[in-house]
A = this chain, B = another copy of it.
Amino acid sequence: MTDDGTTTVLVVDDDPQVVRALRICLNAHGYRVLTASDGAAALRAADQGPDVVVLDLGLPDLDGVDVITGLRRVTTAPIVVLSARLDSADKVRALDAGADDYVTKPFGVDEFLARLRAAVRRSTRRPAEVAEPPVRAASFTVDLTAKKIHRDGVEVHLTPTEWGLLEALVRAGGEVLSPQRLLTQVWGPTYASATHYLRVYLVQLRRKLEPDPAHPRHLLTEPGRGYRFQP
């Protein structure tokens, strides 16, 4: 949302008629509108930080699901999918890929606007209700919602698995987590006895986060019981 409170909508559709109609309609209701006519342009436009994306499936250049996953890498803005298809399989695929709502054409303007409002409301309300403040340790900070680590002011890159492990430890808030618990949570129940992974990844994390990896101050091992995060 821009600082004056205006909500920006990115409309992605290859039919100029539809784009024009939506632009007029949305402008009339006080939205700022960006447009893109194909998937590539949509991904570029997403850099401008829209608050919500209206996406037509069936673009000329890219598959719909690919566009969604591509957008998800760039932005967390809600995605409302437009589609002529009634098939519920498409719907599930789109939602699984990261879409937030799905409207089948033809649709009523009122319903469309209501869903748009709902999508925006959900996304802007979320940080207020479930936002968790960054957790601070002496040598680094962990931002659980932004999924970012900072150390001495610079961002530290973690691989997905490393992040999963750190997240589990941090969320436990200082409690000791048994190896079984950590493994099922990070690798899945199948790996409940693969204690070796833990050692390997604990080393990685300590190397990236601890000032002195050999004598950890925050990622501690409780011999015989598991691991613990010390804030």
A contacts, CB < 8 Å to B: 4-6, 17, 21, 27-30, 78, 86, 88, 92, 95-96, 100-102, 104, 106-108, 111, 114-115, 117-118, 122, 126, 130, 147, 159-160, 171, 177-178, 180-181, 184-186, 188-189, 192, 223-225
Question: Which residues of chain B come closer than 8 Å to A171, judged between CB atoms?
Answer: 117
Q: How many copies of this chain? A: 2
Task: Determine the distance from Cα of A4 to Cα of B180 in the docked complex, in whole angstroms.
Answer: 7
In the complex formed, the residue of B with least CB distance to A176 is: B147
Question: Which residues of chain B come closer than 8 Å to A188, judged between CB atoms?
Answer: 27-28, 30
B29 contacts A185, C-beta separation under 8 Å? yes
A108 contacts B92, C-beta separation under 8 Å? no
Task: Determine the distance from Cα of A184 to Cα of B30 in the docked complex, in whole angstroms.
Answer: 5
Residue of B122, B181, B224 touching A4 (CB-CB under 8 A): B181
